Amino acid sequence: MRHSALTLGLTAALALGGCDLAPHYVRPALPVPPTLPVGAADPGAVAPADVAWRDFFTDARLRTLIELSLVNNRDLRIAVANVAQARAQFGARRADLFPTLNGTGDATFQKSSQGSFASFGGGAGAAIPRRIDTYSAGIGISAWEIDLFGRLRNQSKEAFETYLASEEARNAAQVLLISEVATAYVTLAADRDALAIATTTVKSNAATLDLARTRFRIGVASEIDVRQAQTSYDSARADAARRTALVTQDGNALQLLVGAAPPADLLPASLPATGATIAALPVGLSSDVLLRRPDIAEAEHRLRAANADIGAARAAFFPTISLTAVLGTLSTALSGLFAGGNGNWTVEPQASVPLFDFGRNKANLRYSRASRDVAVAQYEKAIQTGFREVADALAQRGTIGEQLAAQTSQAEGAAATLRLSDLRYRAGVDPFLNVLDAQRTLYAAQQSLVTTRLTEQANMVELYRSLGGGLK
């Protein structure tokens, strides 16, 4: 009967917890056009988020560096640790839903002067001290809150959504890390190409300076030619020194991203002729693909967490019911503690009703609602930011081919002009200034071509990242 009574009480308490005061969650509508720029939606197109990064990046050395960064990068380790923290917090919140079973044992020793009386010599009776010992042992629950109005469940739900948000934050950190490593890799390659052009230009300008000095000595050129050649030579030297520093800084940036000094054989010597990635990604996709981005998924989980907080704040207006129950034995002798007939049980329900709290619960509810409004705005902003990043990348992708063709043609034309100007100068037909102008034009065209090739490859990386690629 005692066991049945305790079991019945616990079962009834559990059955009461069925009310949820949190608002019904509805995902906000996308605050962007229904399709991404460039073309109509193509239901058969494969979303970039489904393209594995090992398939997207075609350069074997770059893939190896990305693998190293995923193991060693400290920012990613911090993100992983944040996930572990959030998971532990969720576990603690979820445990509040269930009673904590405690084993208890105690002993009480009491001495009282009240009790038996004795008469000595016919005089008045005197009290004889009496000692009372009590021993008890049991198992039970203490102050377990029965989640009648869903306060604990909503707090657990909030912790769970926060945990999921931290996982998406970790995924976003991985996507960003992969794109940063790839961008740093092609940037280092481009700067090495630019340094090679600068070094070649220094040598070419040095030869031109020697020629100008020789012609000045034999009287067929003026000192102005020598000074102009010296100026071009010094300018090339300064630019080569600046680009040497850039290459070193690029290597430092790549080392920080990788989390360790990358082996020299994994560093690029120059930009890959065919690019470091696949040639193209599908376009004309629905804007729904933005929901695959981990930063947007993180924002939605935080919105769900804020929604659950409102339920917990609403539940604070209602009574709180807690239960303390113990099942065990009680005896006046330690040897008889577990003897038959000494069973003991206690059930103590308790209710607490908020009467006047000076507006604390109302303020908490207003705060929860305002936090939900903030989370909605942050979610919508994340979507709008993602849409703009994709739109910008697609806009650049639509013109980069024409830019690259024009820059290539310009560099080829500048090289031909320099060749002809040098021949005409040596033949005495054109002044030396034409040669210097042709050298400067060629140098600028070659450096612009390198920059455009870097833009092309970095654009593919950015398009892949902005469309959610990098998790697989």
Strand-by-strand arrangement of the 101-112 sheet: 101-112, 130-146, 320-331, 343-352
pLDDT of the residue at 181: 93
- Comparing CA positions, the residue from 412, 389, 403 lying closest to residue 455 is 403
Give the tokens for residue 17: 């917890």
Average pLDDT over residues 415-424: 89
**CA 371 – CA 283 distance, rounded (Å):** 36
**Residues 448-468: tens digit of each pLDDT:** 999 999 999 999 899 888 888
Instruction: Please report, for residues 243, 254, 270, the alpha-carbon distance to residue 250 in angstroms, rounded to integers and kept in the order given.
Output: 10, 6, 13
pLDDT of the residue at 123: 53
User: Cβ atoms within 10 A of the Cβ of 350, count?
Assistant: 11
pLDDT of the residue at 127: 59
Local structure of residue 148 (DSSP, 8 states): T
Res. 417: pLDDT tops 80: yes
pLDDT of the residue at 229: 87
Q: DSSP states of 63-111 as a string? A: HHHHHHHHHH-HHHHHHHHHHHHHHHHHHHHHHTTSPPEEEEEEEEEEE
Give the tokens for residue 267: 């560093």
What is the number of alpha carbons within 13 Å of residue 463 lying toward its C-beta?
30
Residue predicted with more confidence, 285 or 82: 82
Angle (nearest 5°) at CA 147 between 141 and 148: 125
Give the tokens for residue 210: 């020697």
Helix 223-258 with 432-466: angle, nearest 10 deg: 10
Q: Please state which of the ranges 53-57, 295-299, 330-334 shows the lowest mean pLDDT.
A: 330-334
Count of all residues that appear for the chain in the document: 472
Q: What are phi and psi of 286, to 5 degrees?
A: -70, 150
Local structure of residue 335 (DSSP, 8 states): G
pLDDT of the residue at 48: 79
Tell me the pLDDT band of 1, cut-offs 50, 70 and 90: very low
CB 374 within 8 A of CB 309: no
Instruction: Please report, for residues 58, 89, 90, 159, the alpha-carbon distance to residue 85 in angstroms, rounded to integers and kept in the order given.
Output: 36, 6, 9, 11
Average pLDDT over residues 149-162: 86
Domains of the chain in start order, with CATH, are: 15-99+149-317+361-466 (1.20.1600.10)
Residue predicted with more confidence, 376 or 336: 376
Tell me the pLDDT band of 302, cut-offs 50, 70 and 90: very high
**CA 234 – CA 238 distance, rounded (Å):** 6
**Residues 305-335: tens digit of each pLDDT:** 999 988 888 888 888 888 787 777 766 666 6
pLDDT of the residue at 44: 52
pLDDT of the residue at 6: 43
Average pLDDT over residues 270-295: 80
pLDDT of the residue at 212: 85
pLDDT of the residue at 339: 63
pLDDT of the residue at 191: 93
pLDDT of the residue at 13: 46
**CA 320 – CA 331 distance, rounded (Å):** 34
**CA 190 – CA 261 distance, rounded (Å):** 20
Local structure of residue 277 (DSSP, 8 states): B
Q: Please state which of the ranges 141-155, 249-263, 274-288, 418-432 shows the lowest mean pLDDT.
A: 274-288
What is the average pLDDT value for the chain, to the nearest integer? 82
Q: Is 318 exposed, middle or buried, given 0-12, 13-18 or 19+ CB atoms closer than 10 A? A: middle
pLDDT of the residue at 153: 86
pLDDT of the residue at 34: 76
Average pLDDT over residues 350-374: 87
Which of 287-296, 349-358, 404-413 is most confident? 404-413
Local structure of residue 23 (DSSP, 8 states): P
Q: What are phi and psi of 179, to 5 degrees?
A: -65, -35
pLDDT of the residue at 64: 92
Average pLDDT over residues 161-167: 90
Residues with Cβ within 8 Å of residue 406, at least 6 apart in sequence: none
Percentage of the chain modeled with pLDDT above 70: 86
**CA 410 – CA 445 distance, rounded (Å):** 6
Res. 177: pLDDT tops 80: yes
Q: Match 């939900």 to its residue by tokens.
A: 372
Percentage of the chain modeled with pLDDT above 90: 26
What does DSSP say about strands 343-352 and 130-146: parallel, antiparallel, or unpaired?
A: unpaired
**CA 382 – CA 32 distance, rounded (Å):** 11
Q: Match 């970790």 to its residue by tokens.
A: 170
Residue predicted with more confidence, 404 or 353: 404
Res. 71: pLDDT tops 70: yes
- Comparing CA positions, the residue from 189, 242, 199 lying closest to residue 455 is 189
Q: Which residues pair with 118 in a beta bridge?
A: 126
pTM above 0.75, yes or no: yes
Res. 284: pLDDT tops 90: no
**CA 328 – CA 144 distance, rounded (Å):** 18
Q: Match 């030619």 to its residue by tokens.
A: 225
pLDDT of the residue at 5: 44
Res. 125: pLDDT tops 90: no
Residue predicted with more confidence, 158 or 148: 158
Tell me the pLDDT band of 129, cut-offs 50, 70 and 90: low
**CA 131 – CA 333 distance, rounded (Å):** 12
Residue predicted with more confidence, 45 or 61: 61
Res. 249: pLDDT tops 90: yes
Alpha-carbon torsion, ordered 251, 254, 258, 261, to 10 deg: 10
pLDDT of the residue at 241: 94
Q: Match 């990305």 to its residue by tokens.
A: 66
**CA 42 – CA 95 distance, rounded (Å):** 47
Residues with Cβ within 8 Å of residue 79, at least 6 apart in sequence: 166, 169, 170, 173, 174
Residue type, 219: G
356 phi-psi bin (left φ>0, alpha ψ -120 to 50, beta other): beta
pLDDT of the residue at 332: 62
- Cα 16 → chain centroid: 40
pLDDT of the residue at 16: 46
